[in-house]
Amino acid sequence: MDGKKPKILLCEDDQNLGSVLKNYLELNDFDVTLERDGRLGLAAFQREKFDLCLLDIMMPHMDGFTLAEEIRDIDPDIPLFFLSAKTMKEDIIQGYKLGADDYITKPFDSEVLLMKIKAILKRNEETTREAENKEFDLGGYHFNPKLRELSHAGKTQTLSPKENELLKMLSEHMNDLLPREQALKKIWGSDTYFNGRSMDVYIAKLRKYLKEDEKIEIVNIHGNGFRLVAPVV
C-alpha cells in the first residue's frame, strides 16, 4: 500500500461490536471508517476511496445486501466481506452472488478476520499493480494511463485526469460495453443528470483525440453506455 495504511469501510449498527472491531483493526495499522447504517456507508464510499469493505447485513435505512449492490456498481473489484448473524444457507449464497469475497458469521474470531483481510489485500495489491502498469494499443494510437499520455504518429497528447480515467475504462472494456452508470459512479461519484452531461462532453473530447484513426470509434449504446471499437492488435 505504498506506506499508507489500508483504508477499510466498516458498516456495523451494533455500537459495541463496531467500536471494538474498529479499535482492533486500527491497532493493526488499518485506517477504519465506521458507519452505523447502510445509507451512511454508501455516502462514505462515494466520498472516499477504500481498499476493503466490511458490511453487516441487518442495518437500518439500507441493508448490507443493497449496500453491496451499490458498492459493486461503483467499483466491481473492491474486496468485500459480509459480517452477519444471518447463518441460513440462502443468506450466505445471496452474499456470494452479490460478489462477496467472504461471508463471516457472528460471532467470529477477530484474529482470523485480520488474517483474511491481510491475505486478500495482498492479492489485490498485486493485481492492482499489474493493472496500473498496463498500456493499450488502440489502432494507430498508444495509450499509457500511468503517464496519462495518448500517442499517435510521433505526437503525444497529455490527458486530464478524468479524460485519462474514462479512456482507461473504455480500453479495459475494448470492443465491449462500458455501462454508463458504472463509469459515472466510479469517475464522477454519482450518476446524476448533470454528471451524465459532463461525461458526454468528455466522450466528445476523446473522440476528437482519436479521430486520426478511422478504424477507432466510441459508439453510444443508447441508454446503456459506450463501446470503444478498435482493431485487436
Tell me the pLDDT tens digit for each residue of 156-199: 999 999 999 999 999 999 999 999 988 998 898 888 889 999 99
- At residue 76, the pLDDT reads 86
Average pLDDT over residues 55-72: 95
Residues in the chain, how many?
Answer: 233
Q: Which of 101-115, 133-147, 177-191 has the lowest mean pLDDT?
A: 177-191
More confident residue, 218 or 46: 218
What pTM does this model have? 0.69
Topology at the third CATH level for domain 7-132 = Rossmann fold (3.40.50)
Alpha helices (H) in the chain, listed in sequence order: 15-27, 38-47, 64-74, 89-97, 110-132, 161-172, 180-183, 193-209
Q: How far apart are the C-alpha atoms of 174 and 155, rounded to whole Å?
A: 23
Average pLDDT for the chain: 92
Q: For cell 499489474, what's the residue? A: 130
134-229 CATH, one of 3.30.830.10, 1.10.10.10, 3.40.640.10, 2.40.110.10:
1.10.10.10
Q: Where are the domains of the chain?
A: 7-132, 134-229
